[in-house]
Amino acid sequence: MKNLYIVSYEPDGEGAPYFFDFKWIPELPEFHYPTENPESGELIAKYRAVADVPQLNADWLPDHFLASEKFLAICDFCECSYVSRPVEILIEGKLAPNKKYHFFAATERLRAMDLEKSSFVLDSNLKIEVTDSKNQNYERIDKLVISSGINSNFFYFEEIHEVVCSEQFLIECVNRQIYGLAFKKIDGDYRYAPWDDF
C-alpha cells in the first residue's frame, strides 16, 4: 500500500498570501470542484487575472485554481491527470515578475478507502438518499485504510474531499523546492471529522 499525503496550501503572508482578491478575465466557467471537474471544452485557450497582492510566489494555490509551471512539471513527471490553461497575472498593474502560472485542477477522482478495513460513520443528514455504497458520504472516519491497488500520484480523494499525493510526488516537491505547500500523512492518527469544529 502506498503512503498518501493530504496536500494543502500553506500561506506565510508574503509570497504565499493568506487571503487576497483574484479576478479572472474572462470569468471561469462554473463548476463545483468537490463533486465535478471543470469541463476542458468550456475553458478558453488563455486567461488573464488580477491579483490584489504585493507579490505572489506560491507554486500551488488550490482555492484560486492556480499552479506554477514548476508545479506542473512535477505533475507531468509523476504522470498526473489535470487540466490547465496559461494565465497572465497582473500584480499592481504589472505582469507577475517571478513565475508563470496556469489555471489548474487535478482531474483524477478516486474513492480510495478500503471499506472493510476502515472504521467510519455514514452521514445521516443527507438531503438526497444515497443507495450506492460506493457513493456514500461520511460524517466521520476514525480509521482510514487505503485500498490496495491505488497507484496514482496526485488525485482528489472523494471520501475525505481532499487532494492527496504519493510519497514520490512529495519527494519531488521537496527536491524541487516547491513553495507554499504542506503535507499531512494519512496514517493511524489521521481522522476525518469535518463537523467536530462546529
Position 93 scores a pLDDT of 80
Does 26 map to a domain? yes
Tell me how far apart the alpha carbons of residues 149 and 2 are, in angstroms, rounded to a whole number. Answer: 9
Q: Which has more pLDDT, 27 or 92? A: 27
151 pLDDT exceeds 90? Answer: yes
| Residue 123 confidence class, pLDDT cut points 50, 70, 90 | confident
Mean pLDDT of 136-153: 93
181 by Cβ neighbours in 10 Å (0-12 / 13-18 / 19+) ranks as: buried
Does 125 map to a domain? no
Considering only CA atoms, give the Rg of the chain.
Answer: 18
Average predicted confidence (pLDDT) for the chain: 91
Q: What is the share, in percent, of the chain residues with pLDDT greater than 70?
A: 92
Does 98 map to a domain? yes
Least trusted range by pLDDT, from 33-47, 89-103, 110-124? 89-103
**What digits encode the pLDDT tens for the residues 80-96?**
999 999 999 999 888 87
Residue type, 147: S
Tell me how far apart the alpha carbons of residues 173 and 118 are, in angstroms, rounded to a whole number. Answer: 29
Does 146 map to a domain? no
**What digits encode the pLDDT tens for the residues 62-79?**
999 999 999 999 999 999
Does 142 map to a domain? no
Full residue range of the structural domain in which residue 26 is found: 4-109+168-183
Number of domains in the chain: 1
Does 130 map to a domain? no
Does 94 map to a domain? yes
Does 173 map to a domain? yes
| Residue 197 confidence class, pLDDT cut points 50, 70, 90 | low
